[in-house]
Amino acid sequence: MRLSMSKIAASIALILPLSGCFDSGSEQAVATESKAEATELHVAMMQPPRTGLSPLSDDAFKLSRWSTAETLINLSDQSIAEPMLATSWEQVDPMTWHFTLRKGVKFHDGSELNADMVVNSLERALQAAPKPRILDSIDWEVSKLAEDKIEIKTNFNDPLLPSRLSSPQLSILSTAAYLDNGRVDPTRAGSGPFVLTNINGTTSANLERFDDYWGEKAKVEKVYAEYVPDGFARAAALRTGKADIVEAVPVSQIAMIDSELLHEVAMPRTNTLYLNSKSAVFKDIEMRKIASGAVDRDQIISMVYENHADKAQGLLGPALAWAAPIRGEAAPIDSTAKANGETITIGTFTDRAELPEVAALLKQQLEAAGFKVELDIREYAQIENDALAGKFDAFLLSRATVLDSGDPVAYMQSDFSCEGSFNLGLFCSETVDQAIKHADLQQLGEPRQHAIIEAEKQILAEYAAIPLLHERVIQGESTRVKHAQRDPRERRLVDQQTEVN
């Protein structure tokens, strides 16, 4: 099956320079040549930080995966809100919540958790530009009630508030983390079982066990995390034993790695082609329909993912088991309509090894439907600003759909509402906005689920995006490792239970 991709691989090679080679020279790199001590863990991360590991950006998920920064609320495997830095909470009236803080929590700089610190962290998030996406369309008033209690007043009756507070982008850090210039430095500022001791730019980060942690102490003494955007280099690090845990092993490398080292995790993550509704071509919904009809999902899943993925019937995949039964059968798409030679540019990134191959196949499929297609493929850090600025006619993205709160409404608000902070398609529809707002007002459970699927239908009816497939991420773990976290929501990777032999 791989041989059939040779032409595609060749076309990618002309567009794409090799990047992210594994560094074997640094003492603190994942690819260290010396034998790791029994209490050291070496991790190959997929993407470098975008904002210096600021918790107010997507870098927050690295801090969470390393168990260095913590939130008021934890989210269980079933997406149920559980205590973390807050031990209890109650909704005292439709617009008001009270949260009681855990006693005896120390930050890594020696300061102790109190209500002032929590208010400060949450206010910094509310004032950030851009806001953390979990706060899209949200306005809170946060205040101190006592040394161990805070109050949050919302601008609507928000049943999801505790779950929102589990977002890694709302981590609580010590006061010293927030600098006068508006930056946030998470070094020695978290409260988790590991201390972030060094941020080595976009190369690596170092962590050590925090012996004053309020909970169970970590079994590992040191964690060395290196950023390795090139998937082939990550796979090589796993094969050679230079990394203990590897994020996102490319499907193309599976056959070359001992199956004992690979663990497949079904993800609430959808590979989606966002269509720019402001571009010269795709501002016309008829052109968006033609593009949608041209896509052959089965070919992409077979040729690129070797059937290690699920065909998308909507934005939400099988990791959300309730979605498909409510959605029912997808409406048929007309695949006979053709474009008239319109030129479009598709952007995507190299950090996920499969995306350039998917883009190359999409190029073939769309050209067969009458488009002229150009590809722009770079590392994510170099392409994100252009994508957000709407400089592409379409953008191919691997997107987590319940990343922040365990609930897909936040993702829909961020990506498809008129004021969404991650609206790659520059899409704006009053009908869709109303559907998303309605879903966000529903109580958790079936009423909310049905409203979410109705919002999904509205988004797809306007062809704002083309969902392609739902990923199953392959995590690599050496036989030395026990109890690495295989988290579908990508919030946890290393915690206090993780150990190496």
- Domains of the chain, with CATH numbers? 13-67+185-265+475-500 (3.40.190.10)
Q: Which residue has the tokens 């400089």?
A: 391
Q: State phi, psi for 392 to the nearest 5 degrees.
A: -115, 150
* Closest of 178, 168, 85 to residue 410, by C-alpha: 168
Counting beta carbons within 10 angstroms of the beta carbon of residue 106, is it exposed (0 to 12), middle (13 to 18) or buried (19 or more)? middle
| Token code pair at residue 144 | 């101190």
pLDDT score, position 403: 67
Q: How far apart are CA 377 and CA 374, in angstroms?
A: 10
Alpha-carbon distances of 277 from 182, 190, 377, rounded to whole Å: 33, 41, 21
| Token code pair at residue 274 | 């966002």
Q: Cβ of 300: how many Cβ atoms within 10 Å?
A: 21
* Closest of 285, 407, 295, 302 to residue 354, by C-alpha: 302
Render each residue's pLDDT in the chain as its tens digit; 501 residues: 444 444 444 444 444 444 444 443 343 444 444 444 448 999 999 999 989 999 999 999 999 999 999 999 998 877 789 999 999 999 999 999 999 999 999 999 999 999 999 999 999 999 998 888 888 778 899 999 999 999 999 998 988 899 999 999 999 999 999 998 889 999 999 999 999 999 999 999 999 999 999 999 999 999 999 999 999 999 999 999 999 999 999 998 999 999 999 999 888 999 999 999 999 999 999 999 999 999 999 999 999 999 999 999 999 998 888 999 999 877 777 889 999 999 999 999 998 889 999 999 999 999 999 999 999 999 998 999 999 999 999 999 999 898 677 889 989 999 999 999 899 999 999 999 999 999 998 888 889 999 999 999 999 999 999 999 999 989 999 999 999 999 988 899 999 999 998
| Token code pair at residue 123 | 């206010």
Residues contacting residue 267 through CB under 8 Å, at least 6 positions apart = 317, 319, 400, 470, 471, 472, 473, 488, 490
**357, 8 Cβ separation under 8 angstroms:** yes
Q: How far apart are CA 248 and CA 271, in angstroms?
A: 14
The Cβ-side half-sphere exposure at 151, using a 13 Å CA radius, reads 11
pLDDT score, position 488: 86
pLDDT score, position 461: 95
**426, 278 Cβ separation under 8 angstroms:** yes
pLDDT score, position 338: 96
DSSP letter at 176 equals G
**DSSP assignment of 15-62:** H-----PPP-S-TTSTT-SSPPPTTEEEEEESS--SSTT-TTSTTHHH
- Alpha-helical regions (H) of 267-353: 285-294, 297-303, 323-327
Q: How far apart are CA 89 and CA 146, in angstroms?
A: 14
* Closest of 319, 371, 365, 368 to residue 345, by C-alpha: 371
